[in-house]
C-alpha cells in the first residue's frame, strides 16, 4: 500500500481496496492498518488539490469508514 512518490506528485490516485481476510478481530485490525498506511502514503504523493478514489464493496466502505481514517492522517 505504499506509493512511490519518486515519479513526482499525482493529481489523483485510484485504489481498488482489497479486503484482508482473517478471523474477525484480526481482519478488522489488518484492514484498518492497511488503509491507514495507504492514506499516509497517498497524502505524501498527492499534489495540493489531489484526490484519492477508493473502490470497494459498499459493505467494506461502511464497515471501515475510510473517510474517517483518511482525515486522521
Q: Global pTM?
A: 0.82
* Beta-carbon contacts of residue 55 (< 8 Å; ≥ 6 apart): 14, 15, 16, 17
71: cell is 482525515
pLDDT tens for each residue of 30-64: 888 989 999 999 999 999 999 999 988 888 888 88
| Confidence check: pLDDT of 1 > 70 | no
Whether the CA torsion 27, 33, 34, 35 is positive or negative: it is positive
How many residues are there in the chain? 73
Separation CA 25–CA 44 (nearest Å): 29
Amino acid at each position: 500500500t505504499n506509493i512511490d512518490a519518486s515519479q513526482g506528485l499525482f493529481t489523483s490516485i485510484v485504489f481498488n481496496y482489497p479486503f484482508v481476510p482473517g478471523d474477525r478481530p484480526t481482519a478488522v485490525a489488518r484492514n484498518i492498518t492497511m488503509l491507514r498506511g495507504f492514506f499516509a502514503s497517498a497524502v505524501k504523493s498527492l499534489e495540493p488539490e489531489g484526490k484519492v478514489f477508493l473502490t470497494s464493496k459498499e459493505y467494506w466502505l461502511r464497515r471501515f469508514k475510510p473517510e474517517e481514517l483518511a482525515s486522521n492522517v
